[in-house]
Amino acid sequence: QGERAMASDNVSLGMFNLEDIPPAPRGVPQIEVTFDIDANGILNVTAKDLGTGKQSKITITASTKLSKEEKERMIKDAEQFAEQDRKKREEAEIRNNADNLLYTAEKTKKDLGDKINQDQKNRIDAAVSALKDALASNDVEKMKTKSDELTKVLQEVGTAVYQQASADYTKQKGKAGAATPPPSGEKVVDSEDYKVK
């Protein structure tokens, strides 16, 4: 309960865990979260794993019964710390983006395997290492810069892979499209000499 951007700066009304979800790679599980507030102010929160159908829920029947003064203080704090909260949120988003980018880079390198050469792998590794160092330093600007650099490297590698695949396809198509001699015993007739009646 509260007006602040970060959950840690507000009052917790309750917690629950969605358990017994089978392990899966990042981004695979899909969790549907539903918030329902009825006319009496009762809050129902449900989390459901769409893969297994398992769900967990909590019902909050009474808030913390904050006094009017406490509510006003919380609103004032939200206004007073708005810029600080915005920066915290931005930093959290940049950090999450960097973590996701690191995961994507490792997965891309693994998935592409021998489709990328050693130089491309080395460039990815160097950019990954630089981003990990930036995360460890807690320097937000450095995280942004190194995330952009890794993104650029991944895009260049992806472009090279697609260009190579396109060249291979064109080469294959060229071989397959070459004129093949007719099976033995069949006569080839030029269309200009042949009339349909």
Mean pLDDT of the chain: 84
Query: What CA–CA distance (Å, rounded) separates 151 from 128?
Result: 10
106 plus 132 within the same structural domain: yes
- CB atoms under 10 Å from CB of 92, counted, come to 12
Q: Report the CATH number that the domain containing residue 24 is assigned in CATH.
A: 2.60.34.10
Is the full-model pTM beyond 0.75?
no
Q: Quick check: is 2 in a domain?
A: no
Asked, for residue 54, whether it belongs to a domain, the answer is yes
- What was the pLDDT predicted at 105? 94
Q: Residue 41 falls within a domain, yes or no? A: yes
Are residue 90 and residue 141 in the same domain, yes or no?
yes
Per-residue model confidence (pLDDT) at position 82: 87
Tens of pLDDT along 10-52? 777 788 788 888 887 777 888 999 989 888 878 899 999 888 8
Co-location of 157 and 100 in the same domain: yes
Rounded to whole angstroms, the maximal C-alpha distance in the chain is 100
Query: How far are the Cα atoms of 105, 117, 124, 168 from residue 114, in angstroms, in the given order?
Result: 15, 7, 14, 15
Report residue 83 as tokens: 């810029």
Structure tokens at 123: 């460039």
Q: Provide the 3-class DSSP secondary structure of residue 95.
A: helix
- The total domain count for the chain is 2
The single residue listed with the structure tokens 């949120």 is 89
Residues 108 and 62 in one domain: no
Beta-bridge mates of residue 48 = 32, 55
Identify the domain containing residue 57 by its residue range.
Answer: 7-80
106 band by pLDDT with thresholds 50, 70 and 90: very high
CB-count burial class (<10 Å; 0-12, 13-18, 19+) for 43: middle
Q: Are residues 87 and 165 in the same domain?
A: yes
**Confidence band (pLDDT; 50, 70, 90) for 127?**
very high
| Spatial distance between the Cα atoms of 16 and 99, rounded to a whole number of angstroms | 25
Please tell me which residue, 100 or 3, carries the higher pLDDT value: 100
Give the end of a domain, one of 61, 80, 99. Answer: 80
- Based on the domain organization, do 58 and 127 belong to the same domain? no
Q: Are residues 53 and 17 in the same domain?
A: yes
More confident residue, 132 or 112: 132
Residues 3 and 9 sit within 8 Å (Cβ to Cβ)? no
**Helix, strand, or coil (residue 57):** strand
Residue 177 belongs to some domain of the structure: no
Half-sphere exposure for 133 (CA within 13 Å, toward CB): 10
pLDDT at 189 (0 to 100): 58
